[in-house]
Amino acid sequence: MRGDCRPTWYSYGQTVRPVENVDHTGGNTDKPKIVLLACPRGWDALPTAVYKALLIGPPNVGKTSLVRRFTQDEFHETYTSTVAAEIRVHAFELPEGRVVLTMVDIGGQQSFLSLRNRFYEGAHYIVLVYDMTDRSTFDVMPTWYSALADTACVATCGPIGGSLVANKCDMRDRRAVSEAEGRALAKMLHFDYFETSAKTGECVAEVFLNAAASAREHFRTS
């Protein structure tokens, strides 16, 4: 059964934050706890939409590093695999109003395959990430997309927007996938295309701002 794609609405001034000790191995990680903050007087009638963006792709392409760079302005050279999924939340002040983006960073290991579907449901935006220095991670992008297309809420709300992200652009001298190839695949998927570096921060903020703005544009009338 497909999830409901419609955004969740909260009053202006409310914030969504993950549970501190989330069970990443099968708990209710796709529904973080809601923490309500005091609303400024006179603003409580303005709604805030909460959208769910999925970061998916093979292991070690830098999904978690992208999220940490954006939310914490940090980067760690050492690699630690994501167990099932990690959830981060960020609020954007757009010209049309406030948008809260729930970023679900899904582990790429095959051992988590059976858990992915529960995170895919109800998604509003997809961020497909590959490592531009590793050709094999690019070649499996269509497979990753196909795997989630049948589970994410496509039939109810139409095709979900997304971005194809070529990460590790700080190592362009070791590029194994050309920009033209990346753009061609993004065009085929009807996705936007970005080249990013979680290490330097290049174009990272643009990816998540685009996700929030695109999700709002696509689903605001749903």
Q: What is the pLDDT of residue 160?
A: 79
Q: Could you read off the pLDDT of 67-85 as tens digits, one per residue?
A: 999 998 988 776 565 555 7
132 pLDDT exceeds 70? Answer: yes
When pLDDT is averaged across residues 31-45 and rounded to a whole number, the result is 33
CA angle 195–101–18, rounded 5-degree value: 115
Q: Is residue 149 part of a domain?
A: yes
Q: Could you read off the pLDDT of 195-219 as tens digits, one per residue?
A: 999 999 999 999 999 999 998 888 7
181 pLDDT exceeds 90? Answer: yes
Mean pLDDT of the chain: 75
Residue of 154, 140, 174 lying closest to 56 (CA atoms): 140
Q: Is residue 76 part of a domain?
A: yes
Q: What is the pLDDT of residue 80?
A: 60
Q: Is residue 134 part of a domain?
A: yes
25 pLDDT tier (thresholds 50, 70, 90): very low
C-beta of residue 129 within 8 angstroms of C-beta of residue 165: yes
CATH of the domain at 63: 3.40.50.300
Q: What is the pLDDT of residue 37?
A: 30
**Bridge partners (DSSP) listed for residue 65:** none
Distances, alpha carbon 4 to alpha carbons 23, 60, 88, 222, in Å? 23, 31, 21, 10
CA 184 to chain CA centroid, Å, is: 21
Q: Is residue 36 part of a domain?
A: no
Which amino acid appears at position 135 of this protein? R
Domain span including residue 157:
48-219
Q: Is residue 27 part of a domain?
A: no
| Total residue length of the chain | 222
Q: Is residue 38 part of a domain?
A: no
Residue of 144, 134, 139, 129 lying closest to 55 (CA atoms): 129
Q: Is residue 33 part of a domain?
A: no
Q: What is the pLDDT of residue 157?
A: 54
147 pLDDT exceeds 60? Answer: yes
Q: Is residue 6 part of a domain?
A: no
Quote the number of domains for the chain.
1
Q: Indicate the pTM of the whole model.
A: 0.74
When pLDDT is averaged across residues 96-117 and rounded to a whole number, the result is 72
